[in-house]
Amino acid sequence: MLKDPSQKYRPFPPVSLPDRQWPERILSAAPRWCSVDLRDGNQALAVPMNVSQKLELFQTLVKIGFKEIEVGFPSASNTEFAFNRRLVEEGRVPEDVWLQVLVQAREDLIERTFDSLVGAKRAIIHMYNSTSPAQRRVVFGKSKEEIKAIAVHGAKLIRDRLPRLQGTEVQLEYSPESFSATEVGFAKEISEAVMEVWQPTAERKMILNLPDTVEVATPNVYADQIEWMCRNIKNREALILSLHTHNDRSTGVAATELGLLAGADRVEGTLFGNGERTGNLDLVTLALNLYMQGVSPQLELGNLNAIREVYERCTGMSVPPRQPYAGELVFSAFSGSHQDAIKKGLAEWSRGQRTHWDVPYLTIDPADIGREYREVIRVNSQSGKGGVAYLLESEFGIELPKDMQREFGPIANDAVDRLGREVSGAELKAMFWGEYVERSAPWRLESFEAESKNGMVRCHAVLLQDGQPLALAGEGNGPLAALVHGFGQCGVPRFEIANYSQHSLGSGEAAAAIAYIQLKWSGGRTLWGAGVDTNIELASVRAVLSALNRSCV
């Protein structure tokens, strides 16, 4: 790398807009959406989708609620053309969905594009030509006037062929490609030249798409460019101003949001941001960003896992695990402090203590997009007691007392650390069972009986101590007190029950109960035990033995 990059690179010049209005605005409604998954997203694939894959993805886009779908570049290949014709001829396009097709401002390509649309109910013809200084100089070797002439000629070719699409409702769209790198004055000039040919009105608008084809500046500069165009272009009321951002600086979503604040009406993008180089606008992220601000995106993303599966199957791409909203791990927390905060926030929400969602670390309720709460917290060696307790409770109904969480959390973390990986809820339960419930040495219960007389409970128990039978008897104000007394009579170091809780692990007559008991010895040492049985009294006895057995380790 260069020590002084300014010798090779220069900052993009800002737009002069001292009275810009967009910073004071908020987004309060969804834009018009256009998916370009089948065109921009498809041409970015090393192995483009075949017709059946494109059909499946098209049907998914329709189901989500997209009313404008750029289905391809029909003049680019026979596959693209054939797919377009199949959609039209087989009647696969709903009445309210517009088929959008892309075409350069060239006569042979425009001719082929019109052939692909014959019989369509609704069509958007999207013409473009590149306008930036670098494109004018390097690719075309043409002046501004010559580049403008290309756009005007293409617009006339399209206008003159519109009678061929009798019975088709047509909307026209123009993109000065590489708009974000084009002088705003020239972008306005060439756009107005196309408007002069197409003659849009407030009743019959055209789409003016201003693409951030390559991100060359921070998102605020793009917003300034959009607001400048909105304020200066003639007949703004006759335009649907559209955005098409890429992600070269990893700010495609931000640039789009600021562009909408700046006055744009419509956006183009792909479901999960797949596109050339670093990708396009991620439509899912933008839509759910609106949703978490209380704005309906007018798209149905309630089963995001299923949408992701279709996308991955059709494109061969995978959604990264940390992709906003859709990634496998985005509703997961490995940090102990995060886990504890999430658990408490979810508990507050489930009790109905808040009218609006405000759970720490979760911008939206995972259930709203088809995710489950059990996915929220996962456990690895960095996890704390909160995450461990949450998984045991959410997956198995094991509600550890707070003090027991503090004891078992480090035990589980040590075990996970030795494994060196994330563990599942089932593995975590097995750790708990092995540490507490299945402890059977040196003490093992063979039988236990208790009877009450005159307010006093007497117990009789048969235990195995290191495999040898031992009869134990004791009395107290309850079965557990009697058991503790009985151990004292056998010479076991004296202890007392410091904490006790229990609950059912299911429902119905055959449901097991689990008891948690904390024992305390004279020196201040404490240990927890746990016992499971269909009889709650026996579960409690087993919990006492569990803690005693753990004290002998």
pLDDT tens for the chain, 553 residues: list them. Answer: 999 999 999 999 999 999 999 999 999 999 999 999 999 999 999 889 998 999 999 999 999 999 999 999 999 888 899 999 999 999 999 999 999 999 999 999 999 999 999 999 999 999 999 999 999 999 999 999 999 999 999 999 999 999 999 999 999 999 999 999 999 999 999 999 999 999 999 999 999 999 999 999 999 999 999 999 999 999 999 999 999 999 999 999 999 999 999 999 999 999 999 999 999 999 999 999 999 999 999 999 999 999 999 999 999 999 999 999 999 889 888 777 888 899 899 999 999 999 999 999 999 999 999 987 666 666 777 777 777 888 898 889 999 998 999 999 899 988 888 888 888 889 999 999 999 999 989 999 999 999 998 889 999 999 999 889 999 999 999 999 999 999 998 888 999 999 999 999 977 666 899 999 999 998 899 999 999 999 999 999 999 999 999 998 7
Angle between helix 283-291 and 252-261 (nearest 10): 50
Strands 68-72 and 98-104: parallel
| Per-residue pLDDT, 377 | 65
CB 543 within 8 A of CB 516: yes
- Can you give the residue ranges of every domain in the chain? 24-315, 336-437, 443-551
CB 548 within 8 A of CB 521: no
Cα–Cα dist 490/511, whole Å:
34
| Per-residue pLDDT, 519 | 96
| Per-residue pLDDT, 77 | 86
CATH superfamily, domain 443-551, is Alpha-isopropylmalate synthase LeuA, regulatory domain (3.30.160.270)
Closest to 518 (Cα-Cα) out of 546, 493, 552, 492? 546
Strand ranges in 454-509 using DSSP code E only, listed in sequence order: 456-465, 468-476, 495-504
User: Rg (Cα) of the chain, in Å, rounded?
Assistant: 34
Q: Give the three-state DSSP class for 165.
A: helix
Cα–Cα dist 280/331, whole Å:
24
DSSP calls for 121-143: SEEEEEEEEE-SHHIIIIII---
**HSE of 544 in the Cβ direction (CA atoms, 13 Å)?**
24
| Per-residue pLDDT, 509 | 62
Cα–Cα dist 226/230, whole Å:
6
Cα–Cα dist 444/546, whole Å:
9
Cα–Cα dist 442/108, whole Å:
89
Cα–Cα dist 220/255, whole Å:
7
CB 68 within 8 A of CB 37: no
**Could you give the C-alpha distances from 61 to 54, 241, 274, in angstroms and in order?**
10, 22, 15
Closest to 209 (Cα-Cα) out of 36, 15, 24? 36
Cα–Cα dist 239/202, whole Å:
7
Cα–Cα dist 537/484, whole Å:
14
AA letter at 44? A
**Alpha helices, DSSP H, located in 437-535:** 479-489
| Per-residue pLDDT, 93 | 97
CB 389 within 8 A of CB 431: no
Tell me the two tokens of residue 210.
Answer: 């201003």
CATH superfamily, domain 24-315, is Aldolase class I (3.20.20.70)
Which helix (H) or strand (E) segment holds residue 409: the answer is helix 402-419
